[in-house]
A = this chain, B = another copy of it.
Amino acid sequence: MREFQTIPAWVASFPALKTITDPVWCEVSNNARIINLPVNTPIFHAGESCENYLLVLAGSVNVQKVTEDGHEITLYHMQPGHSCELTTACLLSGSCYHAEAITTTAVQAVLISKKEFMQALNGSDGFRKFIYSSIDSGMNELATLVEEVAFGPMDQRLAQHLLDSVLCTNPIKTTHYDLAVELGTAREVVSRLLKKFEHQGWVKLRRGEVEIIEKGELCTLVKHHAP
CB within 8 Å of B: which residues of A?
65, 67-69, 71, 73, 75, 85-86, 89-90, 92-95, 98-99, 132-133, 135-140, 142-147, 149-151, 184-185, 225-226
7 nearest A-B residue pairs (beta carbon)? A93-B136, A150-B184, A92-B132, A142-B142, A93-B133, A89-B136, A65-B147
Asked if A75 contacts B150 (CB within 8 A), the reply is: no
Asked if A150 contacts B69 (CB within 8 A), the reply is: no
Asked if B184 contacts A143 (CB within 8 A), the reply is: no
Given A143-B75, A184-B150, A225-B69 contact (CB < 8 Å): yes
Min CB distance A91 to B, Å, is 9
Asked if A150 contacts B149 (CB within 8 A), the reply is: yes
**Interface of A: prevailing SS:** helix
Complexed CA–CA distance, A89 and B138 (Å) = 9
Q: Inside 8 A of A144's CB, which chain B residues have their CB?
A: 65, 98
Complexed CA–CA distance, A94 and B135 (Å) = 12
Q: Inside 8 A of A86's CB, which chain B residues have their CB?
A: 139-140, 143
Q: Inside 8 A of A146's CB, which chain B residues have their CB?
A: 65, 73, 75, 142, 145-146, 149, 184
Complexed CA–CA distance, A75 and B140 (Å) = 11
Asked if B135 contacts A89 (CB within 8 A), the reply is: yes
Q: Inside 8 A of A151's CB, which chain B residues have their CB?
A: 67, 69, 71, 73, 184
Min CB distance A64 to B, Å, is 9
New A-B pairs, 19, CB < 8 Å, besides A73-B146, A98-B144: A65-B146, A65-B147, A67-B147, A69-B151, A69-B226, A73-B147, A86-B143, A89-B139, A92-B132, A93-B135, A93-B137, A98-B143, A135-B139, A139-B142, A142-B146, A145-B146, A146-B149, A146-B184, A151-B184
Asked if A136 contacts B95 (CB within 8 A), the reply is: yes
Complexed CA–CA distance, A75 and B92 (Å) = 22
Give 26 pairs: A residue, B residue, CB < 8 Å, sorted on A: A65-B143, A65-B146, A67-B147, A68-B225, A69-B151, A71-B150, A71-B151, A73-B150, A75-B143, A85-B139, A86-B140, A89-B136, A89-B140, A92-B133, A92-B135, A92-B136, A93-B133, A93-B135, A93-B137, A95-B133, A135-B139, A139-B142, A142-B143, A145-B146, A146-B149, A149-B149
